[in-house]
Structure 1
Amino acid sequence: MNKVIIPLKRLIPGLIIGPASWLGPYIVMNSLFLPALIQHFDAPHKVELVALFSTCGMIVAALSNMIAGALSDKTHSRFGKRAPWLMGGAFVFMLAMIAASFSPNIPILLTAWMVGQAALNFIVAPMVAWIDFAPEDGRATASSAYGGLGMALGNNGFNVVGALFLSQFRLGFIIFGIFTFIGVSIATLIVHEPSNLAEQSVTTQPAHQKLTLKDAAAIFPRWSVGRDYYLALIAKLFQGVGNFAITGYILYIMTDFLHRGNQTQSAIQLINLIMLIFGVFMGFVAGPLSDKFKILKLPVGFSTLFLAFGALMLFFFRDNLGIITYAFAAGIGMGLWNSLDNLLNLEVIPDQNRVAFFLGIYNLGNTITQAIAPVIAAGVIALFGYAGIFIISFIFSLIGGILILQIKSVKR
């Protein structure tokens, strides 16, 4: 069976529009609209409730991501492996966010949010596997388009607009939910994955043979086989917590720690604008330079130094200097990481027949760390106040970089 190759002229626009369309609205709703609505329902317990939503979301995201990746890898349709799940996930996510906007209380909001979390991962797992459709000499460029450009727009570009809806957060859920469906649809049409109806399924055992415990354990290879993949995955979790410990509480950091008052909206917009500019810049240069000089592991590993530095700047300088310096450093670090980390993971996948499954698990770092980080941050806030968040971010970011540098199969 010949591997599906999609030209970069179709793949790159899809890899920019696609992740921006699901990640951007999710980031806005998770970091701004959801905390605002939770605060509206129960202000005295807002920190604990954010942690509750994050914990539940983490469980739902982990399960749905594995299921989505596995189903996508085994799908045969005239629209290819990925497109049916992308469109279905985007549609359900839109409906869930509309339901969240009309929630009258915390239990109904939690239910709608969990449905949205499940649907979101039916977008994430199949879409990141688009990178594997890239020609061999353009894989870093494709990865950079997805992570450096698409995710930079998602992580920061939408928050600039999202901050405008802080006083109309219920309307924001509806608008950004609809945007996800439209954006994912456009990206899917541009990529235009070919039919795989003629593709033969790879079977490793007769249909009548019972699944043994050994077979079940093989879903995740043992450490000696998947060592580098597991190192990349664990590093992603540490780096993600380091980043989202700050961004997940950015609204409360601005109001309760930095006391920005009526400047909160403008400060959030400034941070996200600076991070967007540097993220997009890295998206344009990191991938092509990686393809040209055949360097991958080192820039991914060292990108975490910028995140760690940015966290310290907010800790020591609790004013405009700290805010701007953090935005510059985090923008460079996240831009470099997002541009190349998916390709690094693709290089260390232990089973090339399950690309969407393993890339999907890896990309839980973009959703599951946003669930883990608020839980950790809530505990840190309770013990040490908001200042402790920045120390946690510093430590976790550095650990993530060190783990990346321990990967052996990718030399540099």
Structure 2
Amino acid sequence: MEMSAAREIAPDEALAPDTGKPLPASSFWRFAIGFIIFGIMWMMSGTIGSAVLFPQRFNAIFPGNAEAALGTMNAIGSVFALIANVVFGALSDSTHSRFGKRTPWIACGGIIAGVAFWLTSIQTSVLGIAAFWGLLQIGLNMMLAPAFPVLSDRIPLNRRGTISAFYGAGMICGQSIGTIIGTQFITNMIPGFLCGAICWVLTGALVLIIWPAERSTAIERGDDTPSFNLKELLLSFAPPRHNCRDFYLALSGRFLFVFGTFIISGYQLYVLERYIGLDDVAASHVLATMSIIIMVVSLATSLTSGVISDRLCRRKPIVVVASIMIGAAIALPWVFHSVASMYGYAALSGFGSGIYNSVDQALNVDVLPSKEEAGRDLGILNVANTAGQAFAPAVTSSIVLATSSYFLTFPCAIALILSGVALIMLIKSVR
């Protein structure tokens, strides 16, 4: 079919998969607002701790070994997240309840994450911190794994880029808001940890209140509901084996992207202190300003990029451009080594992240091998996030310990991101 600036939408692309009907405007906006709130809440809650308060607390309780402690926490947490994402994605695919198959898991996950966040904050040993951070990752992925398939379950194909853009905008805003909130408590951390715990508890509840209610799977299946079958449940966890080339390319490309970006973004406070040379207070002020820059710039790009992607029916070129921009952003502090370069990094990475996050989730939904097992397959795709975040601390810590500097972390991050771009370009089923 010949493409122009925008192609004509096929009739089935405008129908909601769960109803077979066009999505009403009111439902579209409830999904859009729900996704942006969900992105804000979970990213804000996590960033308050992982990017600001925990690194600062580790400076005090693990002097000289703060990077190693943070790396251990993130790495072990990512292992829990990796397993939980696949497990809860598959479980939600086969859940039958009056509330639907995704809703029960999202509701419970926020409560578990909130309790675990507070318990992590009061630990004084690496083992205790890692254990409760792992529990938090279980709660978080109990929400994330069932939430992402809503794009496949309930959103028409021609609106997924736009809804994904709202979610991406929410994540960027949440990361920035979390950093800003966290820096306000950097000298008095207990109220900050309490704030984070409350936000976690609210995360799952708010999105379910905003979204249109999910259809009851129990009523749909009625008396034909099969008895529990352990073998079928275990088989539901198996990764896809047919029609899945592009699926695994998207998985690998996203893994390399997250791996590369988190090498720097997960250590911004330490980069400002150890690499740029600022004290704790100055670093927290710069970090707060960077967060505002990222939020403002990314909002301007994320909401428009998703709409453009839907109109042009293209995902790959937008993801590629965004990845190259983030690679260029990381090069700025590597080359210029100054506070100004960190502000430049914030602006350019915010621009690229806004574009990337608005389209990447829609691309992942478009390459799913099976719409009936969307929860499992999106859970596997989200392994790229957790695995990337698990590998990044080990690489960053190893480079810093070996060289006593963050200098080589920057080219390493850029190389990984560009490798991810190459894999995304090999995808054939998505333009």
- TM-score normalised by structure 1 residue count: 0.92
Residues 244-393 of structure 1 mapped to structure 2, 5 A cutoff? 244-261=262-279, 262-384=281-403, 385-393=405-413
Residues 224-254 of structure 1, C-alpha deviation per residue, up to 9 Å, x if partnerless? 6211111111111111111111111111111
Could you say if the C-alpha distance between residues 331 and 367 of structure 1 is closer, same or farther in structure 2, counting changes exceeding 3 Å? Answer: same
- The reply to whether residue 157 of structure 1 matches residue 157 of structure 2 is no
- How far 1:193 sits from its partner (Å)? 2.1
Residues 225-236 of structure 1 mapped to structure 2, 5 A cutoff? 225-236=243-254
Match of 1:100 in 2: 120
Percent identity between the two aligned chains: 26
Q: Is the 8 A contact 2:323 2:417 kept in 1?
A: yes
Distance of 1:182 and 1:208 partners within structure 2:
34
**Which letter maps to 1:153?**
C
Q: Is the 8 A contact 1:234 1:400 kept in 2?
A: yes
Residues 237-274 of structure 1, C-alpha deviation per residue, up to 9 Å, x if partnerless? 11111111111111111111101223211110121111
**Which letter maps to 2:105?**
W
Distance of 2:236 and 2:106 partners within structure 1:
28
Distance of 1:366 and 1:233 partners within structure 2:
9
Secondary structure of the residue aligned to 2:149 is: helix
Q: Is the 8 A contact 1:235 1:404 kept in 2?
A: yes
Number of positions where the alignment pairs a residue of Structure 1 with one of Structure 2: 405
- How far 1:283 sits from its partner (Å)? 2.2
Residues 30-109 of structure 1 mapped to structure 2, 5 A cutoff? 30-109=50-129
Distance of 1:111 and 1:279 partners within structure 2:
34
Distance of 2:330 and 2:244 partners within structure 1:
32
Distance of 2:232 and 2:206 partners within structure 1:
40
Residues 169-211 of structure 1, C-alpha deviation per residue, up to 9 Å, x if partnerless? 333222112112223311111103232223349x9x9988967
**Which letter maps to 2:76?**
C
Secondary structure of the residue aligned to 2:101 is: coil
Q: Is the 8 A contact 1:80 1:195 kept in 2?
A: yes
Q: 1:145 aligned to 157, 162, 166, which one?
A: 166
Match of 1:400 in 2: 420
Q: Is the 8 A contact 1:101 1:171 kept in 2?
A: no
Distance of 1:174 and 1:164 partners within structure 2:
13
Q: Is the 8 A contact 2:77 2:130 kept in 1?
A: no
Distance of 2:278 and 2:66 partners within structure 1:
19
Distance of 1:311 and 1:126 partners within structure 2:
33
Q: Is the 8 A contact 2:236 2:376 kept in 1?
A: no
- The reply to whether residue 118 of structure 1 matches residue 133 of structure 2 is no
Distance of 1:127 and 1:336 partners within structure 2:
21
- The reply to whether residue 186 of structure 1 matches residue 181 of structure 2 is no
Provide structure 2 residue ranges, at least 5 long, that are not aligned to the other structure. Answer: 1-15
- How far 1:392 sits from its partner (Å)? 1.1
Distance of 1:244 and 1:79 partners within structure 2:
36
Q: CA RMSD in A?
A: 2.4
Secondary structure of the residue aligned to 2:240 is: coil
Secondary structure of the residue aligned to 2:185 is: helix
- The reply to whether residue 9 of structure 1 matches residue 7 of structure 2 is no
- How far 1:310 sits from its partner (Å)? 0.8
Q: Is the 8 A contact 1:68 1:125 kept in 2?
A: yes
Match of 1:29 in 2: 49
Residues 88-132 of structure 1, C-alpha deviation per residue, up to 9 Å, x if partnerless? 010011111121222243332222211111111101111112222
Q: Write out the 4+ residue segments of structure 1 that deviate beyond 4 Å after TM superposition.
A: 205-212, 215-218
- How far 1:30 sits from its partner (Å)? 1.2
Distance of 1:173 and 1:231 partners within structure 2:
38
Distance of 1:12 and 1:73 partners within structure 2:
22
Residues 180-219 of structure 1 mapped to structure 2, 5 A cutoff? 180-191=200-211, 192-200=213-221, 216=235, 219=238
- How far 1:346 sits from its partner (Å)? 0.4
Provide structure 1 residue ranges, at least 5 long, that are not aligned to the other structure. Answer: none
Residues 343-390 of structure 1, C-alpha deviation per residue, up to 9 Å, x if partnerless? 100010111111122222222344442222111111121233211111
- TM-score normalised by structure 2 residue count: 0.88
Distance of 2:177 and 2:427 partners within structure 1:
32
Could you say if the C-alpha distance between residues 290 and 71 of structure 1 is closer, same or farther in structure 2, counting changes exceeding 3 Å? Answer: same
- How far 1:60 sits from its partner (Å)? 0.7
